[in-house]
Amino acid sequence: MPKNKREVDQTLTLIRGLPGSGKSTLAKRLAKATGATHLEADMFMVDREGFYEFDPTRLDMTHAKCKAACREALEDGKNAIVSNTFTRLWELQNYFDMAEELGIPLQIIECHGKFRSIHNVPDETLADMRDRWEQLPKKYR
């Protein structure tokens, strides 16, 4: 039995996919339609003027901020949608654990579209990400 079983219907939705697969667009639309809190690590890579600036040295920090903001939203009784690449299962594990701990149902959506990446990710980086993609365990499909 989860420690903090929620009385209200809440969900944590994780959207995973390669850059340019449509995950941010889907997350924004779902959040708008449902009133859920939408989060992604890229939101924490914005400079003081509001411009996106990728910095690989900040990846751990941006993902930590994303997880903390997700937990805060869920603990405040809100639904949360997190869209990140999540190519490897360990990248999802903290969210799996969070949902279980809080007693919140988990929904996982995989995006496989082939659109232009808004962050201009190089082709070789996309190929590396595609090569390290891990399938979800059966219990999450």
pLDDT above 80 for 78: yes
- What is residue 8's predicted lDDT score, i.e. its pLDDT? 56
Tokens, residue 116: 């232009």
Higher pLDDT residue, 18 or 123? 18
Share of the chain above pLDDT 90, in %: 65
pLDDT at 33 over 90: yes
SS3 label, residue 49: coil
Percent of the chain with pLDDT over 70: 91
Distance from C-alpha of 57 to C-alpha of 133, rounded to nearest angstrom = 22
* Average predicted confidence (pLDDT) for the chain: 89
pLDDT level of residue 80 (50, 70, 90 thresholds): very high
What six digits make up the tokens of 25? 């667009």
With CA atoms as reference, report the closest residue to 10 among 63, 70, 58: 70
- At residue 132, the pLDDT reads 95
Domain range annotation of the chain:
12-140
Per the model's pLDDT, the better-predicted residue between 45 and 41 turns out to be 41
Mean pLDDT value of segment 63-74: 96
pLDDT score of 36 more than 90: yes
- Give this prediction's pTM: 0.86
pLDDT band at 126 (very low <50, low <70, confident <90, very high): confident
Strand order in the sheet with 80-84: 37-39, 80-84, 12-16, 106-110
- Whether residue 2 has pLDDT greater than 60: no
Distance CA 25, CA 28 (A): 5
Domain 12-140: give its CATH superfamily: P-loop containing nucleotide triphosphate hydrolases (3.40.50.300)
